[in-house]
């Protein structure tokens, strides 16, 4: 089936999202067409990072065909979401950067997930060399030092100063004069993760600094701004490039200052620069031009989807999570883009999410299981959910689970005490029954679905509560009749009936459950919690009527709660009431006649 995906003008500009990069050469089953980016959209762009701003790195547009081949098995090209932003930064000594960061906060970049203090390669100096750096250090020393810092080989022309020569010897020989084998310790000792990462970074000449998976900061050029600074700081300013040879950091300035000259910067920054030159007439702070590159991993799920989906389509932003599974409920209009949406959901929620599924059909079957289609990630629908501190194994393909009911289940559990005996008529894999077992004296849990019962038993053991729970696999009506005609009947204090479509109609099973017993016995009438849906104008009244009819009672004293709106105009309700004595002792034989 071939479908067309259109991106309208509001989306990504043509220059930034070439269609060739978005989709494979043979664009089946999906093709994509792009429209030009209009300037009106550009003027509406807000402050802060945006896919509509910045430029695409030039290397990307060099060989689109090759990239297309590399990306042929993907639905879209992640690199097309790379954006480069020109910025100005203040290079400052590392020791001053945090004080300056809080002082200049209002003038810094302040973009989400981007640190205002940035690091770039070679911004650090070996700590052992630090004492050598000082205000008295001569320019020639710095040349030699930089030569060492930047890893040039010995004998490259410059003679080392006596201090550096001694330092070099100290590094190469140990106290006894034997040469040090720097790698020996590494070979003989098992790796310690954290330390080694740092060591590697250092030994690779700070290669990794400035780059994360989401962003990269690079210095483009040193600001040839001595003229600027002279103008700003007076004629006596005698700045030179890289005035500070100790460790430095970049303070990324507000994006609005990117193209400004030094004298156009706000007063707060000028003051800092002036103060710095105050005593020494020599600034250690420098203005540098830099590039901030934001990668696909930087952008949020809704930003990526908004760029990919046609205008007018609501960007799906919410999904239900069941263990490692993200459960989408896509609308009709999303279906042509379902794989695309699923890939973004997966990418943006890894590693917690490993599988993305969509509900194909409304729940119709007795076991309330969902018809699911796996759209991305691994195909396993067996997962583990943690709720109320308990762990539940669930197979979404064969049993019912709804994470949205967690709060309601918790509310119900809060009403139970250690004196209670609970009877869960429609228990599923046991989220109520097992959590209740932790609180109450005893639990009787039942479900019609044999696979749900299997998981229920497994979950009892998994949570070490198997001794407090007795499991049944029968129809709910038969279960109620069986358990209340047994010797357990009198101990049961709470009954839970969570099958909102039909549970109310099972209430007739309570009629006459104590008829065979002498009335002078000491009876406990259990509290029944029954769930139901209602689309009526007055859902409470409507549900109450259903209960009354099922119990064949004129009056039932019910406490009614709205649980949640499951669809527009459709409420899920919970009715709690003590089983009326008249129902428990009802003469069913007379009714049958």
Ligand X SMILES: C[S@@+](CC[C@H](N)C(=O)[O-])C[C@H]1O[C@@H](n2cnc3c(N)ncnc32)[C@H](O)[C@@H]1O
Residue list, annotated binding site for S-adenosyl-L-methionine: 409, 447-448, 475-476, 498
Q: Does 459 bind ligand X (CB under 6 A)?
A: no
Q: How far is the CB of 81 from ligand X (least distance, A)?
A: 39
Stretch that binds ligand X, among 30-38, 122-130, 190-198, 443-451 (CB under 6 A): 443-451
Q: 555: burial class by Cβ within 10 Å (0-12, 13-18, 19+)?
A: exposed
Closest CB to ligand X among residues 209, 469:
469
Rule CB under 6 A: choose which of 119, 289, 334, 368 binds ligand X. Answer: 368
Rule CB under 6 A: choose which of 24, 316, 377, 431 binds ligand X. Answer: 431
| Annotated binding-site positions | 409, 447-448, 475-476, 498
Q: Does 387 bind ligand X (CB under 6 A)?
A: no
What are residue 463's phi and psi, to 5 degrees? -100, 10
Rule CB under 6 A: choose which of 244, 367, 462, 585 binds ligand X. Answer: 367
CA distances for 185 relative to 180, 181, 192, 196, angstroms? 10, 8, 12, 12
Stretch that binds ligand X, among 31-39, 71-79, 337-345, 362-370 (CB under 6 A): 362-370
Angle at which helix 226-233 crosses helix 267-278, to 10 degrees, equals: 90
Spatial contact of 436 and 487, defined as CB atoms under 8 Å apart:
no
Q: Does 553 bind ligand X (CB under 6 A)?
A: no
Q: How many CB atoms lie within 10 A of CB 565?
A: 11
Closest CB to ligand X among residues 164, 453:
453
Q: How many CB atoms lie within 10 A of CB 205?
A: 14
SS3 string, 79-96, reads HHHCEEEEEEEEEEEHHH
Rule CB under 6 A: choose which of 75, 448, 507, 586 binds ligand X. Answer: 448
What are residue 264's phi and psi, to 5 degrees? -90, 0
Spatial contact of 178 and 253, defined as CB atoms under 8 Å apart:
no
Q: How far is the CB of 363 from ligand X (least distance, A)?
A: 9
CA distance 564 to 508: 26
CA distance 430 to 410: 13
Residue 126-165 contact track with ligand X, rule CB under 6 A, x = bound: ----------------------------------------
| Span 460-499, contacts to ligand X by CB under 6 A | 475-476, 498-499
Spatial contact of 443 and 463, defined as CB atoms under 8 Å apart:
no
Q: Does 532 bind ligand X (CB under 6 A)?
A: no
Closest CB to ligand X among residues 48, 415:
415
Closest CB to ligand X among residues 49, 431:
431
Closest CB to ligand X among residues 251, 563:
563
Tell me how many helices (H) and strands (E) the chain has.
19, 20
Report cis status (omega within 30 of 0) of the bond before 372.
no
For residue 580, how many C-alpha atoms fall within 13 Å in the half-sphere facing its CB?
Answer: 17
How many residues at the interface with ligand X, by CB under 6 A? 20
Q: Determine the residue with CB nearest ligand X.
A: 428
Q: How far is the CB of 463 from ligand X (least distance, A)?
A: 15
Q: How far is the CB of 561 from ligand X (least distance, A)?
A: 16
Q: Is 438 left (phi over 0), alpha (psi -120 to 50) or beta?
A: alpha
Q: Does 324 bind ligand X (CB under 6 A)?
A: no
Closest CB to ligand X among residues 18, 430:
430
Closest CB to ligand X among residues 232, 499:
499
SS3 content of the chain, % helix, strand, coil (to 5): 35, 20, 45
Q: Does 366 bind ligand X (CB under 6 A)?
A: yes
Q: How far is the CB of 380 from ligand X (least distance, A)?
A: 20
Q: Does 88 bind ligand X (CB under 6 A)?
A: no
Q: How far is the CB of 432 from ligand X (least distance, A)?
A: 5
| Span 398-427, contacts to ligand X by CB under 6 A | 400-402, 405, 426-427
Q: Does 449 bind ligand X (CB under 6 A)?
A: yes
CA distance 439 to 434: 9
Q: Which two tokens stand for residue 395?
A: 């197979």
> Which of helix, strand or coil describes residue 382?
strand
Q: Does 512 bind ligand X (CB under 6 A)?
A: no
Q: Residues in the site for ligand X, rule: CB under 6 A?
A: 366-368, 400-402, 405, 426-428, 431-432, 447-449, 452, 475-476, 498-499
């Amino acid at each position: 089936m071939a479908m067309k995906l259109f991106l309208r003008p509001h989306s990504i500009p043509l220059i930034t999202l070439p269609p060739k990069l978005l989709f494979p050469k043979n664009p089946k089953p999906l093709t994509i067409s792009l429209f030009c980016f209009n300037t009106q959209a550009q003027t509406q762009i807000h402050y802060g990072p945006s896919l509509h701003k910045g430029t695409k790195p030039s290397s990307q547009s060099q060989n689109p065909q090759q990239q297309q081949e590399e990306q042929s098995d993907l639905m879209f090209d992640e690199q097309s979401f790379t954006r480069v932003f020109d910025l100005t930064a203040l290079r400052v000594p590392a020791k001053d950067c945090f004080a300056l960061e809080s002082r200049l906060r209002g003038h810094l970049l302040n973009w989400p997930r981007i640190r205002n203090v940035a690091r770039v390669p070679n911004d650090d100096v070996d700590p052992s060399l630090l004492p050598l750096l000082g205000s008295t250090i001569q320019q020639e020393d710095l040349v030699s030092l930089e030569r060492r810092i930047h890893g040039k080989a010995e004998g490259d022309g410059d003679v080392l100063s006596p201090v550096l020569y001694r330092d070099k010897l100290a590094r190469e020989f140990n106290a006894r004069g034997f040469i040090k084998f720097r790698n020996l310790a590494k070979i003989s000792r098992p790796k310690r993760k954290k330390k080694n990462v740092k060591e590697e970074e250092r030994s690779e000449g700070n290669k990794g600094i400035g780059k994360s998976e989401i962003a990269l900061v690079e210095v483009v050029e040193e600001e040839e701004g001595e003229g600027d600074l002279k103008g700003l700081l007076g004629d006596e300013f005698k700045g030179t490039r890289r005035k500070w040879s100790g460790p430095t950091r970049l303070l990324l300035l507000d994006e609005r200052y990117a193209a400004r000259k030094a004298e156009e910067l706000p007063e707060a920054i000028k003051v800092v620069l002036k103060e710095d030159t105050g005593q020494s007439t020599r600034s250690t702070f420098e203005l540098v031009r830099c590039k901030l590159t934001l990668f696909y991993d930087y952008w949020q799920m809704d930003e990526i989807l908004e760029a990919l989906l046609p205008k007018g389509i609501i960007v799906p932003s919410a999904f239900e999570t069941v263990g490692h599974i993200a459960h989408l409920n896509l609308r009709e209009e999303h279906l042509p883009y379902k794989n695309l949406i699923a890939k973004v959901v997966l990418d943006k929620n890894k590693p917690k999410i490993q599988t993305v599924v969509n509900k194909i059909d409304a729940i119709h079957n007795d076991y309330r299981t969902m018809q699911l289609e796996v759209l991305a990630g691994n195909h396993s629908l067996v997962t583990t959910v943690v709720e109320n501190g308990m762990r539940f194994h669930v197979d979404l393909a064969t049993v019912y689970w709804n994470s949205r009911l967690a709060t309601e289940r918790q509310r119900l559990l809060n009403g139970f005490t250690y004196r209670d005996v609970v009877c869960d008529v429609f228990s599923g894999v046991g989220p109520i029954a097992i959590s209740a077992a932790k609180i109450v004296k005893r639990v009787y849990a039942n479900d019609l679905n044999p696979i749900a019962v299997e998981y229920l038993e497994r979950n009892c053991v998994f949570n070490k509560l198997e001794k407090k729970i007795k499991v049944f696999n029968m129809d709910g009506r038969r279960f109620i009749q069986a358990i209340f005609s047994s010797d357990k009947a009198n101990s049961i204090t709470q009954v839970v009936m969570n099958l909102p479509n039909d549970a109310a109609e099972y209430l007739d099973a309570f009629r006459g459950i104590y008829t065979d017993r002498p009335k002078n016995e000491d009876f406990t009438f259990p509290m029944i919690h029954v769930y139901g849906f209602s689309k009526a104008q007055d859902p409470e009244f409507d549900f109450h009527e259903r209960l009354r009819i099922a119990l064949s009672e004129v009056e039932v004293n019910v406490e009614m709660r709205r649980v949640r709106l499951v669809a527009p105009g459709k409420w899920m309700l919970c009715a709690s009431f003590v089983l009326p004595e008249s129902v428990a002792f009802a003469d069913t034989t007379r009714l049958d006649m």
